[in-house]
Structure 1
Amino acid sequence: MTLLQAEPTRETFWTVGPVGEAVFYGLAAMAILIFCYGVYERFARYARGGADPFDRVNDLPGRVVRASRVVLSNEKQFDRDLFAGVMHAFILWGFLTLLIGTTILMVDMDIYRRLTGTSFFTGDFYLSYSFVMDALGFLFVVGVGMAIYRRYVVRQERLWGKHTGFEDDVFVWTLFVLGVGGYVIEGLRIVGTEFPAWETVSFVGYFVALAFDAAGVTPGLAATLYWVGWWSHALVALGFVAFLPYAKPFHMISSFANVVARDEKAGKRLPGVPEDAAPDEIGYTGIEDLSWKQLLDTDACTKCGRCSSVCPAKEAGRPLDPRDVILDLKSYRESLDAGETEPVDIVADGGRSVIAAETMESCVACMACMDSCPVDIEHLSHFTEMNRRLTETGQMQEPVQEAMMNVFQNGNAFGDPARKRPEWTEELDFEVPDAREEPVEYLWYVGDYPSYDERNRRVARSLARLFELAGVSYGILYEDEQNDGNDVRRVGEEGLYEMLVEDNAAAFDACEFETVVCTDPHSYNTFENEYPEMAPDFDYPVYHYTQVVESLVKEGEIELDGTELDYTVTYHDPCHLGRYNDEYDAPRELVRATGARLAEMPRNREDSFCCGGGGGGLWMDHDETKKPSEERLREALEDTEAGRAVEKFVVACPMCGTMYEDGRKTGDFEEDIEIIDVAELLVEALESKRGGVAETETGSDDGTTPASAD
């Protein structure tokens, strides 16, 4: 059977006939109804979730525009993985093109032709349409082929896990069958219509047609095979449409919705606890405690494993896989909905629970999982709610409980009296101003570790020297300073955190100053992003000390000519300064200002690898194959371009300094590299310029390790 056409076009239902066309429309209507019901049921489930503490739909048009940019650009897929970025871009743009092309064809057949009696699916429009559909459809097939290659040939580790199953296989192979099947039936149609000259624009289909012709397929046989192929393709396509809301393909909808609903400050600030919440209502007590956005998170997960591949706790051998936590919650919810299981604790230490306590204790709140997630799942909000549950039920590790008691009783995690907080100033040859007694420009929040830990006291003294040298108007709170509460909150002690906010806000309010400057990025983050949520009057400008000192160097208040130090260093981006608050340049500019050669580690800036001390990690005991701090020091010495020429490991966070001093000892790096804070490096450069000796000896045994700090 052949069809000779006078102008560029094609018959959509060629060989199918009127009855077949009617059957197709009936099946299509059924598929669309099943699809619509499935989508409705999904979103109705979210509506049954709890209220979210943050406004997720304000400026909805702007949110949709931003989400469209993020999704269509594939920018998050390209991050850290060029292959995956290209693969996903081909699949996404190919799929969207095929979807748009099908919609155009439907408009022509079912609307335009019925209204006008003519068709626009002819001539130059048809030729352009055919070329674009063939080109983008080919990219779609290539993209799916890349996915199959990575999943089944390379067997990339992050794509496999306990939640990988049959639906993942069905999804990827269905896409492949749809993509390849489209070209097969196109090639059969071209053979059956005796190779119309204009069909060369459908270059992929034309190539397939030439292959069929070379194999001896006649126009009559092609027509017969076309009927079989057309119906097979149609049934698979309609089945995919109907199946989409009920399994993994739904992420094509839920992921976009999740990006639309994202909190711009997710992780930087955490949701609070309702004022009227009873102790047995705090944290995740059941699946009904998840907000609608948290439920959406569980459906948006694509199982890509990006979060798993960057998690320092997982790499250290701890029992945490961020992807599995999200998918465990999803599986539990679905099993409850299906009546397949009885309710159990969401999180508990021992016994039946969805998530084990040790899994949550492993998290270091570095936010690498969230930064790497292409669909903006907010892992840390889930983890914090589970930590709150453990805290309320007394299921925290003993060292953490001791640290929390110390903070409660003495205002610091060391348990030392408040009167000892300013003792670090006694070895200075000048007096550090008291911000409680005189107006200052900078209220310097020193923090626990620079105040009490002997190793980090050297950092505080170095920074004080820099401020004095620059003639900065600054002061500290002396005994009135208390723990900032950032990590207190992340281990789940919300009540203690609220107390600290109230006390610190009152202490700040009693002083006259213009700007807050913090030694510790953890303090910087919580003052900048969290205190204003709980203390509306806390609206001061907040900076990390490297930002302030960089401006002093640029203004010439601290004079360095960039030749003072002549050795190679590497710099570690603290999570709370870099990934949390996007400050990467100020510390690097200060390092370069000293003359030291900066050799970057492979994992730097937003891809930095956590020291392991955040989220209470500094207070906890873990069974692990290798500490994150040890792995990071190995990376500094083996994976940088400078290699073993790196002499010093530069930090800009007291907690990082503590963790890496510990890692030097436990990882046997004491003879290989020294740990030094940016402030100490600057003082060393200034002393070198004057021919003096700076107080920057690193690697001594007077500093407390995480274990002894407890």
Structure 2
Amino acid sequence: MTVPPLQTPGRETFWQIGHVQEILFYFFAAMALLTFGWGVYRRFTRYTRGAEDWFDRTDDIASRVVEATKIVATNEKQFNRDMYGGLMHTFIMWGFLTLLIGTIIIGIDIDFWQKALGNEPFLSGAFYLSYSLVMDAMGLLFVVGVGMAIYRRYWVRNERLWGKHTSTEDTLFVWTLFLLGVGGYVVEGLRILGDGAGSTSMPEYEIVSFVGWFSARSFQAVGVSPSLAADLYPALWWSHALLAFGFIALIPFAKPFHMISSFANVVTRDEKAGKRLPSVPADLDAETGAASIDHFSWKEMLDQDACTKCGRCSSVCPAKASGRNLDPRDVILDLKQYRENLEAGGDEKTIVADGGSSVIQAETMESCMSCMACMDACPVEIEHLKSFTRMNRELTDAGEIQPSMQEVFQNVMQKGNTFGDPNRKRGDWADDVEVDVPDARDQEVEYLWYVGDYPSFDDRNKKVARSLATILDAADVSFGILFDDEKYDGNDIRRVGEEFLYIELAGHHVESFEDCEFEKIVCTDPHSYNTIKNEYPEVDFEEFADDPVMPFDYEGTWNADGEIDVYHWTQVVEELVPQLGLSGNELDYTVTYHDPCHLGRYNDEYEAPRKLVTATGCELHEMPRNRSDSFCCGGGGGGLWMELDEEEKPSEERLREALEDTDAGQAVEKFVVACPMCMTMYEDGRKTGGFEDDIEVVDVAELVVEAIGESETAGL
């Protein structure tokens, strides 16, 4: 039996569905929602078993939710480096949300407005027409978005979407979404066609449901009559409903849970993640490593659940590109898989170790350059470096690190620097520069200059230190250095896992800073700049001051309110260009510039070095990967000191990019850096990659000092 067409624009929700079937529908709906609620509760209670995080991630929760909503709603992270992916995800997300909201509106109309209050349906007339138009339009975007995903995954077979954790679950997820989207239009088309049974035509107002109208016309074109459409409708309606209920019920137990966990992850993100690392307690028995999966914090567990397997982190990882044994996505998902297996009664394993059947291999963690490219690319704010550092601590505590790193630790502990040279020679580089380099311990200065290990001890980088001293003197800047009271800053050994040695170095330095009179700190090395600016203020030195092993008496926190400004030298000198008398046409080199990770991605400083390069008159050509997309030199995270198996060194790949992929091509004469570690890695890459005759590696400071006519200074 068919129902006559409605005269007023609208529709009968349970058209062709009997009362018994309607009761069954509500039963299945209730079961799906209860299963969904129980599953979400169960997933979130897992996080209570994780360790407490090192700082409050739910403070000012309202602002966090608002900001997370903006990030998710705009899909800004999905559009990063990938317009196709951004559009695809936007279509799917907003289409899905619109369909969800539309379904809720129907429920309110039927169950509350009509049945509970006894009113006539509000989903009728002009409101129904508007509703139908929006639902069809956004539903079509949803289907298009899912189609784009299927095309990229299975037709193009985008490499980053496939990996060791790719499974049937991924296939079922994307095809279920597709069937839900297309199935909705099939059901709608049958309803519109069948609604015309007993009349001469389909209800004309249904043309606003333009996709459903097209579906109805298509059925009509292949010979489906209105009466047959009405007969077929219940079976297709139930198929669509049961698929939707099954999808809802399974959300907490499968990949669709990322729709919830990802938003929660963005809400609880640390805006300084990576540039600062979790502090460690003074208690030597405190669990700060990865001896057990239970030692991971609840946020690290949430990170694991938020991962969508999109592979964006993998596609930008310089370690993976160089053939090192690291895939950031696999590390996060390996930890998740192990945790879930353990919860299901699986065998316990060592989390990270050198060899054996550990979850993560030591070689994998050694491969990480701490460049933060993975975190910058991640659309759901996973904090890879936090988990990586935890595992590095475990390796360091167990002594499972390379002998070369052990030697670096010994050098720092015994000599105060990574070279193992007597620290009294730290300021000897200043003997070969014709300007006076004041001692900040003896006189008041505006800038306390933290020189760093490589500019102090490495012959190639000493030239950079001398250039910078010449520049500061030419600009009539009041500056001074600590000479042998300066030690290694600790940034990279901390990322390798040597936390207490880092604390010792930080305590020594803040105590030395307190003994000097200065206004600001300026650093040669972006690594020093990052750790002094972002990490020293996070340490509660009072916890460690009474420890006899710690050679400092400083108590409390240092620079917690940011009263002392900390700069990279390019930020200071960029403001001094007028005082240096540069006209912008002194040099005529064709150059390209490499963004150091710790200056760029870590601290969002991209323009100061570029302004200095162009102020010298050089013609600057950008490499394809620049600014936040810069490709790491390979020296971070201890890479400078480790022996690693690589198909091609990151420095070699970057130099190739400068000469082959930059618009100027082989015309590029100089590869410009602003980091001593980058200088060291690229000088090595020139030799091993065979680029010695093709390009010269120079620091920004060397260009500036040449431009101001001081290149004749002794030692330059």
With normalisation by structure 2, the TM-score equals 0.95
Aligned residue number for residue 537 of structure 1 = 558
Indicate yes or no: 2:239 matched with 1:239: no
1:485: Cα distance to partner?
0.5
Partners of 1:92 and 1:431 in 2: CA distance: 62
User: Could you list the per-position Cα deviations for residues 173-193 of structure 1 after superposition, in whole angstroms to 9, with x for gaps in the alignment?
Assistant: 000000000000111111101
Indicate yes or no: 2:328 matched with 1:322: yes
The secondary structure found in structure 2 opposite 1:353 is: coil
Quick check: 1:98–1:133 contact (8 Å CA) kept in 2? Answer: yes
Aligned residue number for residue 27 of structure 2 = 26
Partners of 1:537 and 1:308 in 2: CA distance: 37
**What does residue range 621-700 of structure 1 map to in structure 2 within 5 Å?**
621-687=643-709, 693=712
Seen in structure 2, the aligned counterparts of structure 1 residues 24 and 277 have a Cα distance that, compared at 3 Å, is farther
Aligned residue number for residue 69 of structure 1 = 70
User: Could you list the per-position Cα deviations for residues 22-41 of structure 1 after superposition, in whole angstroms to 9, with x for gaps in the alignment?
Assistant: 00000000000000000000
Q: Which runs of 5+ in 1 are unaligned?
A: 698-710
Partners of 2:715 and 2:344 in 1: CA distance: 62
Aligned residue number for residue 257 of structure 2 = 250
Indicate yes or no: 2:596 matched with 1:568: no
Partners of 1:461 and 1:313 in 2: CA distance: 33
Query: Which of residues 259, 284, 287 in structure 1 aligns to 2:290?
Result: 284
Partners of 1:695 and 1:200 in 2: CA distance: 84
User: Could you list the per-position Cα deviations for residues 435-456 of structure 1 after superposition, in whole angstroms to 9, with x for gaps in the alignment?
Assistant: 0000000000000000000000
Aligned residue number for residue 196 of structure 1 = 203
1:275: Cα distance to partner?
2.1
Runs of 4 or more above 4 Å deviation: 692-697
Indicate yes or no: 2:171 matched with 1:173: no
Aligned residue number for residue 636 of structure 2 = 614
Indicate yes or no: 2:471 matched with 1:457: no
The secondary structure found in structure 2 opposite 1:495 is: helix
Partners of 1:659 and 1:163 in 2: CA distance: 34
Identity over aligned pairs, percent: 66
Partners of 1:179 and 1:466 in 2: CA distance: 64
Quick check: 2:262–2:307 contact (8 Å CA) kept in 1? Answer: yes
Aligned residue number for residue 104 of structure 1 = 105
Aligned residue number for residue 576 of structure 2 = 552
Query: Which of residues 147, 150, 174 in structure 2 aligns to 1:148?
Result: 150
The secondary structure found in structure 2 opposite 1:499 is: helix
1:430: Cα distance to partner?
2.5
Indicate yes or no: 2:522 matched with 1:517: yes
Indicate yes or no: 2:383 matched with 1:359: no
Quick check: 1:522–1:576 contact (8 Å CA) kept in 2? Answer: yes
Partners of 1:117 and 1:70 in 2: CA distance: 40
The secondary structure found in structure 2 opposite 1:618 is: coil
Quick check: 1:406–1:414 contact (8 Å CA) kept in 2? Answer: yes
**What does residue range 84-163 of structure 1 map to in structure 2 within 5 Å?**
84-113=85-114, 114-163=116-165
**What does residue range 325-336 of structure 1 map to in structure 2 within 5 Å?**
325-336=331-342
**What does residue range 260-275 of structure 1 map to in structure 2 within 5 Å?**
260-275=267-282
Partners of 1:119 and 1:184 in 2: CA distance: 24
1:102: Cα distance to partner?
0.4
- The alignment's C-alpha RMSD in Å is 1.1
Partners of 2:120 and 2:441 in 1: CA distance: 84
The secondary structure found in structure 2 opposite 1:283 is: coil
Partners of 2:357 and 2:10 in 1: CA distance: 64
1:284: Cα distance to partner?
0.6
Partners of 1:187 and 1:438 in 2: CA distance: 84
Quick check: 2:521–2:566 contact (8 Å CA) kept in 1? Answer: yes
1:468: Cα distance to partner?
0.5
Quick check: 1:442–1:515 contact (8 Å CA) kept in 2? Answer: yes
Aligned residue number for residue 482 of structure 2 = 477
The amino acid across from 1:549 in the alignment is V
Partners of 1:104 and 1:393 in 2: CA distance: 58
Aligned residue number for residue 299 of structure 2 = 293
Quick check: 2:533–2:566 contact (8 Å CA) kept in 1? Answer: yes
Partners of 1:599 and 1:272 in 2: CA distance: 40
Query: Which of residues 343, 348, 353 in structure 2 aligns to 1:337?
Result: 343
Query: Which of residues 408, 412, 421 in structure 2 aligns to 1:407?
Result: 412
Aligned residue number for residue 392 of structure 2 = 387
The secondary structure found in structure 2 opposite 1:302 is: coil
Quick check: 1:388–1:493 contact (8 Å CA) kept in 2? Answer: yes
Quick check: 1:518–1:545 contact (8 Å CA) kept in 2? Answer: yes
The secondary structure found in structure 2 opposite 1:111 is: helix
Quick check: 2:288–2:295 contact (8 Å CA) kept in 1? Answer: no
1:116: Cα distance to partner?
4.0
User: Could you list the per-position Cα deviations for residues 537-560 of structure 1 after superposition, in whole angstroms to 9, with x for gaps in the alignment?
Assistant: 23421000000000111xx21110
Aligned residue number for residue 43 of structure 2 = 42
The amino acid across from 2:189 in the alignment is G
Q: Which runs of 5+ in 2 are unaligned?
A: 197-201, 542-556
Quick check: 1:282–1:392 contact (8 Å CA) kept in 2? Answer: no
Aligned residue number for residue 312 of structure 1 = 318
1:419: Cα distance to partner?
1.1
Partners of 2:471 and 2:434 in 1: CA distance: 13
Aligned residue number for residue 370 of structure 1 = 375
User: Could you list the per-position Cα deviations for residues 27-77 of structure 1 after superposition, in whole angstroms to 9, with x for gaps in the alignment?
Assistant: 000000000000000110011211000210011000001100100100000
Quick check: 1:463–1:679 contact (8 Å CA) kept in 2? Answer: yes
Partners of 2:6 and 2:337 in 1: CA distance: 54
Partners of 1:26 and 1:94 in 2: CA distance: 27
1:272: Cα distance to partner?
1.7
Quick check: 2:291–2:394 contact (8 Å CA) kept in 1? Answer: yes
Quick check: 1:422–1:451 contact (8 Å CA) kept in 2? Answer: yes
Quick check: 1:439–1:512 contact (8 Å CA) kept in 2? Answer: yes
Quick check: 2:536–2:558 contact (8 Å CA) kept in 1? Answer: no
Indicate yes or no: 2:585 matched with 1:578: no
Partners of 1:546 and 1:270 in 2: CA distance: 25
Partners of 1:644 and 1:198 in 2: CA distance: 65
User: Could you list the per-position Cα deviations for residues 583-618 of structure 1 after superposition, in whole angstroms to 9, with x for gaps in the alignment?
Assistant: 001000000100101100111001111000001010
Partners of 2:438 and 2:496 in 1: CA distance: 34
1:695: Cα distance to partner?
7.3
Quick check: 1:54–1:263 contact (8 Å CA) kept in 2? Answer: no
Partners of 2:283 and 2:589 in 1: CA distance: 58
1:117: Cα distance to partner?
2.0
Aligned residue number for residue 499 of structure 2 = 494
Indicate yes or no: 2:505 matched with 1:508: no
1:684: Cα distance to partner?
1.3
Quick check: 1:458–1:695 contact (8 Å CA) kept in 2? Answer: no
Partners of 2:715 and 2:672 in 1: CA distance: 12
1:636: Cα distance to partner?
0.6
Quick check: 1:192–1:223 contact (8 Å CA) kept in 2? Answer: yes
Question: Which has the higher mean CA deviation after the structures are superposed, 456-465 or 427-436?
Answer: 427-436
Aligned residue number for residue 704 of structure 1 = none
Question: Which has the higher mean CA deviation after the structures are superposed, 498-507 or 535-544?
Answer: 535-544
